[in-house]
Amino acid sequence: MNTHYKSILTLMLFASLSTLQLRGQGCVAIRHFSSCGGNNLSSNLLSAGEWQIGMNYRYFKSFRHFRGTHEEPDRVSNETEVINHAHAWDFSVNYSLSNRMYATAILPFVVNTRSSLYEHGREERNTTFSRGLADVRLGLGYWLFDPARSPKGNLALGLGVKLPTGDYNATDIFYNVGPEGTPQVRPVDQSIQPGDGGFGLTVDLQFFQQLSPTLFAYAGAFYLANPRETNGVRTFRETLSPILQNESIMSVPDQYGLRGGFSYNTPVPALSVSIGARYEAVPVEDLIGGSGGFRRPGEVLSLEPGLTLMNSRTTVSLSVPVAMLRNRPQSLTDLETEQVTGQPRNGDAAFADYLINFSVAYRIAPDDAKAPAPFNLD
- The whole-number mean pLDDT for each consecutive block of 10 residues of the chain, a chain of 378 residues, reads 50 44 57 45 68 96 97 95 97 94 96 97 95 97 92 94 98 96 97 97 95 95 97 95 92 96 94 96 96 96 96 92 97 92 93 96 77 43
Rounded Cα–Cα distance for residues 203 and 322 (Å): 25
Q: What is the pLDDT of residue 42?
A: 44
Residue 212's nearest CA partner among 2, 5, 1, 48 is 5
- Residue 147 forms beta bridges with which residues? none
Q: Which residues pair with 377 in a beta bridge?
A: none
Contact 113, 131 (CB under 8 A): no
By CB atoms closer than 10 A (0-12, 13-18, 19+), residue 286 is buried
CA-CA-CA-CA torsion sign (168, 174, 178, 182):
positive
Closest among 12, 5, 22 to 219, alpha carbons compared: 12
**Contact criterion met (CB below 8 Å) for 274 and 309:** no
For the whole model, what pTM was predicted?
0.89
Estimate to the nearest angstrom the gap between the alpha carbon of 365 and the chain centroid.
Answer: 29
C-beta separation of 120 from 126 below 8 A: yes
CATH architecture of the domain covering 3-366: Beta Barrel (2.40)
Rounded Cα distance between 107 and 24, Å, is: 17
* Per-residue pLDDT at 30: 64
C-beta separation of 327 from 281 below 8 A: no
* C-alpha 267, offset from chain centre: 32
CB atoms inside a 10 Å sphere around CB 271? 14
pLDDT for res 148? 87
CA–CA distance, 41 with 272 (Å, rounded to integer): 15
pLDDT of residue 46: 80
